[in-house]
Structure 1
């Protein structure tokens, strides 16, 4: 798998981190009108974090599946020769 595809795995966590920083900044603001936006960003950050978890699990499972199928092909090759 190409290394640039790892951005799809870690990208949601990076976006989540940036949203948490921005949300905390809005929640600490003096203007209480901005607090609602801060809470909304925290919700969006949690969604991005969970998407990142699903991406990571999917990526790890595909790596394991690829290794397992390569091992099976190697065993079949050894048995035929």
Structure 2
């Protein structure tokens, strides 16, 4: 997690970011996370591989939406 320290310190200084936390993702599902649209998140795995994630859009499932995991993810653009 030492590589994330500059990011965490920067975010801690800025008032526009939520409090910065880290946690093990074993067993975590998207529904377990408290996400904010437009908020940057860092996903780190294998010790050094980091990915910046930003959720831009959110919508509710409709009856006509594909709900079988083998057909997901569904891209709308």
**TM-score (structure 2 length as normaliser):** 0.23
Structure number with bigger Rg? 1
Greater RCO, CA 8 A, separation 6+ = 1
**TM-score (structure 1 length as normaliser):** 0.23
Higher helix content, 1 or 2: 1
